[in-house]
């Protein structure tokens, strides 16, 4: 058999995501090659099939079939051939005369009397195009992808136009700046986000671009001129915003490669400092590869604290003085802890007595249950009496077991020793901080400090991690009951 390929896209569908003529032709040529079908000619037409007699190329194709130039038609979907009864009738008439032996799609071949009936149904329901839209959209997207066209909404830095993406010159500079800053390996993505926000980068709603979006941009090959689709990398026809060299340099930083030691800065106090005026974190920078300076990021553009820089010695002095005053009344702290130890030991003794009493009661019930079983085996009890007494004893046993479970765990002497060591540590926080090396300081800050709120180069408020915060709160009072109110014998 000899086949014509017929491709049609309606002029009414130009703005819809349907199969293009290129997509249809590619699918059908691939199908014919796979099946070993002989293709005589390919007909392409951009016309609606809603009305009869309006498609000149379709008419030419039918004339050639009548002349015997071909006896089969390959089409992507039967609705590409006819969407009106007259054109459908012409096709069925050629088939009934034997001039057209087969109409085939990649999904089905129509070549028998019964097939004619089914194809007639297809033509009748051809207007229900939306039922096949999902498949056609996918095939259309696949065709775009193979041609290097990005098939969906443009990412930050690009815009969509006529099915393609183009560089958005208002946003592209921020993308270049993002990659350049990150390639230096001196800033976190969050810090770069703050910098870009200060420089004017905004979302459509006028908000700050979140860190996750910036991270996705850093790993997106679309900015070098390629793109990923369904897990595969394709070479795009769009213009890249950055060079391939810069993109690869950023990937190296992201993957932990190419990290030059002189570009990796660990700022000891970053992450613990917040601006008391605007609530933004204080960031840090290194000047002349030697001096660390801390300042407010002013990410909300609400204050002028970012104009005041503090070096690492300034921050060290603030933290040292703060630790020096961590516990003001040591005498009250000693008395509180000693009273706490006494209460714990007293409560442990009480719990021991209660536990022993309950365990003795439990043992007696077990004895009664054993005797009850023996009496039942000896026939001394009726079945009803045995069941009644057994249920009663089992109920009592269950209640005692519940009471034992509810007894709190005892605080051991080892725990009390740890509390004593914790108290001594709090007494000497300043010495530990001042005399310790960088690692000691870092460990101390991680374990004790939550946040220092800074205003005019001074500490406005201090927040600590538990249990330091509880002790810091109590130390503000000279009232013994206040100290005791923060402790009980079952913490």
Kindly write down the DSSP assignment for every residue of 381-412, as one continuous string: S-HHHHHHHHHHHHHHHHHHHHHHHHSPPPPP
DSSP code at position 436: S
Of residues 275, 321, 320, 322, the one with CA closest to residue 294: 275
pLDDT over 90 (residue 415): no
pLDDT over 70 (residue 132): no
pLDDT over 70 (residue 127): no
Helix (H) or strand (E) holding 478: none
Q: In the sheet where 449-455 sits, what is the strand order? A: 273-275, 449-455, 458-464
For residue 296, the model assigns a pLDDT of: 86
Fold of 2-145: Rossmann fold (3.40.50)
- Give the model's confidence band at 260: pLDDT under 50 very low, under 70 low, under 90 confident, else very high: very low
- Give the model's confidence band at 89: pLDDT under 50 very low, under 70 low, under 90 confident, else very high: confident
What is the rounded distance in angstroms from the CA atom of residue 149 to the CA atom of residue 136? 17
HEC profile of 236-251: CCCCCCCCHHHHHHHH
Of residues 472, 437, 478, the one with CA closest to residue 316: 437
257-261, 302-306, 454-458: which range is least confident on average? 257-261
- In terms of average pLDDT, the best of 45-49, 191-195, 481-485 is 191-195
The pLDDT of 301-322, averaged and rounded, is 85
Q: How much of the chain exceeds pLDDT 70, in percent?
A: 85
79-83, 86-90, 461-465, 467-471: which range is least confident on average? 467-471
The pLDDT of 259-288, averaged and rounded, is 74
For residue 289, the model assigns a pLDDT of: 65
What is the rounded distance in angstroms from the CA atom of residue 491 to the CA atom of residue 488? 6
Q: What are the DSSP E strand ranges found in 205-322?
A: 226-229, 232-235, 273-275, 282-287, 291-296, 310-311
Residue-wise pLDDT tens digits, 176-196: 999 999 988 888 999 999 999
3-class secondary structure, 203: coil
For residue 301, the model assigns a pLDDT of: 74
- Would you tell me how many other CB atoms lie within 10 Å of the CB of residue 358? 17
pLDDT over 90 (residue 477): no
- Give the model's confidence band at 263: pLDDT under 50 very low, under 70 low, under 90 confident, else very high: very low
Helices (H), 1-112: 21-35, 56-66, 85-96
Mean pLDDT, the chain, whole residue set: 82
Cβ atoms of 238 and 166 closer than 8 Å: yes
For residue 6, the model assigns a pLDDT of: 95
| Residue 412, beta-bridge partner list | none
Cβ atoms of 253 and 273 closer than 8 Å: no
Q: Check residues 325 and 58 and name the one with the higher pLDDT.
A: 58
Q: What are the DSSP E strand ranges found in 178-281?
A: 226-229, 232-235, 273-275
Which class is 158-263 in CATH? alpha beta
What is the rounded distance in angstroms from the CA atom of residue 38 to the CA atom of residue 3? 6
For residue 56, the model assigns a pLDDT of: 92
For residue 478, the model assigns a pLDDT of: 61
For residue 52, the model assigns a pLDDT of: 80
For residue 259, the model assigns a pLDDT of: 46
Q: Check residues 222 and 444 and name the one with the higher pLDDT.
A: 222
Crossing angle, helix 133-146 and helix 21-35, to 10 degrees?
Answer: 90
14-23, 372-381, 444-453: which range is least confident on average? 14-23
| Gyration radius of the chain's alpha carbons | 41
Task: Kindly list the domain boundaries of the chain, sorted by start residue.
Answer: 2-145, 158-263, 345-413
3-class secondary structure, 286: strand
Cβ atoms of 184 and 191 closer than 8 Å: no
pLDDT over 60 (residue 489): no
Distances in Å between the alpha carbon of 460 and those of 279, 282, 425? 12, 14, 24
- Give the model's confidence band at 303: pLDDT under 50 very low, under 70 low, under 90 confident, else very high: confident
């Amino acid at each position: 058999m000899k086949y014509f390929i017929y491709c049609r896209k309606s002029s009414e569908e130009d703005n819809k995501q349907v199969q293009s003529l290129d997509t249809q032709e590619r699918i059908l040529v691939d199908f014919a090659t796979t099946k070993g079908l002989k293709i005589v000619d390919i007909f392409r037409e951009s016309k609606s099939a809603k009305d009869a007699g309006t498609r000149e190329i379709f008419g030419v194709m039918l004339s050639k079939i009548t002349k015997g130039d071909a006896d089969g038609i390959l089409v992507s979907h039967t609705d590409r051939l006819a969407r009106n009864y007259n054109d459908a009738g012409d096709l069925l008439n050629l088939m009934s005369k034997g001039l057209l032996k087969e109409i085939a799609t990649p999904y089905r071949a129509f070549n028998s009397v019964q097939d004619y009936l089914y194809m007639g149904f297809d033509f009748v329901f051809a207007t229900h195009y939306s039922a096949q839209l999902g498949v056609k959209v996918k095939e259309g997207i696949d065709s775009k992808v193979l041609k290097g066209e990005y098939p969906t909404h443009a990412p930050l830095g690009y815009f969509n136009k006529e099915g393609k993406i183009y560089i958005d010159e208002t946003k592209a500079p921020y993308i270049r700046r993002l990659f350049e800053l990150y390639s230096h390996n001196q800033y976190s993505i969050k810090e770069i986000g703050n910098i870009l926000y200060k420089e004017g980068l905004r979302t459509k709603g006028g908000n700050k671009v979140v860190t996750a979006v910036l991270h996705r941009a850093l790993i997106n090959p679309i900015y070098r001129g390629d793109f990923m689709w369904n897990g595969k990398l394709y070479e795009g026809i769009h213009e890249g915003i950055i060079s391939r060299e810069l993109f690869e340099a950023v990937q190296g930083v992201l993957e932990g490669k190419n990290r030059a030691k002189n570009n990796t800065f660990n700022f000891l106090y970053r992450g613990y400092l917040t601006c008391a005026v605007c609530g933004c974190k204080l960031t840090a920078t290194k000047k002349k590869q030697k001096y660390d300076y801390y300042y407010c990021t002013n990410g909300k553009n609400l204050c002028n604290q970012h104009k005041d820089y503090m070096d690492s010695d300034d921050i060290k002095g603030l933290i040292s003085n703060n630790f020096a005053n961590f516990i003001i009344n040591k005498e009250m702290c000693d008395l509180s802890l000693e009273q706490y130890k006494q209460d714990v030991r007293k409560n442990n003794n009480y719990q021991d007595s209660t536990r022993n009493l309950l365990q003795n009661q439990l043992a007696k019930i077990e004895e009664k249950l054993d005797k009850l079983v023996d009496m039942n085996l000896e026939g001394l009890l009726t079945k009803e009496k045995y069941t009644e007494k057994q249920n009663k004893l089992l109920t009592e046993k269950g209640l005692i077991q519940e009471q034992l479970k509810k007894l709190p765990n005892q605080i051991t002497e080892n725990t009390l020793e740890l509390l004593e060591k914790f108290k001594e540590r709090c007494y000497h926080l300043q010495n530990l901080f001042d005399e310790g090396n960088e690692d000691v300081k870092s460990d101390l800050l991680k374990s004790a400090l939550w946040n220092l709120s800074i205003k005019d180069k001074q500490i406005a408020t201090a927040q600590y991690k538990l249990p330091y915060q509880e002790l810091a709160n109590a130390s503000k009072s000279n009232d013994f009951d206040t100290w005791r109110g923060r402790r009980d014998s079952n913490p």
